């Protein structure tokens, strides 16, 4: 399944940790936005790792997109939808 993860985290060190975790699972498409292709097991692993860091003062959202919805994504300006299904080493 295709996921979009976005976050707003004020603490610099925490934000860096979250970005590093997300790089293990997907591709950075903007400063605080990642696109990830994950099965259920990888999604659960990602969520468990993020739950150790994210607190009530932070904001992190994970949006799932079905195949049909993924086909309606529009990009303006530079960039493209993450298509590669790379193997990430966790």
Q: What is the pLDDT of residues 67-86, one digit of tens each?
A: 777 667 766 676 666 666 55
Is residue 27 assigned to a domain? yes
Count up the domains in the chain and report the number. Answer: 1
Q: How many CB atoms lie within 10 A of CB 66?
A: 9
| Residue 74 DSSP SS3 | coil
Q: What is the pLDDT of residues 14-69, one digit of tens each?
A: 999 999 999 999 999 999 999 999 999 999 999 999 999 999 999 999 999 877 77
Question: Which DSSP state fits 77?
Answer: S
Residue 62 structural domain: 2-70
Is residue 47 assigned to a domain? yes
The model carries a pTM of 0.81
Token code pair at residue 44 = 């659960």
């Amino acid at each position: 399944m295709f996921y979009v993860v976005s976050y707003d985290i004020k603490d610099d060190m925490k934000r860096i940790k979250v970005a590093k975790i997300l790089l293990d699972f997907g591709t950075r498409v903007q400063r605080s936005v990642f696109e990830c292709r994950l099965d259920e097991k990888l999604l659960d692993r990602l969520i468990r790792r993020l739950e150790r860091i994210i607190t009530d003062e932070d904001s992190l959202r994970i949006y799932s997109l079905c195949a049909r919805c993924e086909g309606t994504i529009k990009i303006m300006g530079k960039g493209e939808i993450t298509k590669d299904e790379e193997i990430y080493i966790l």
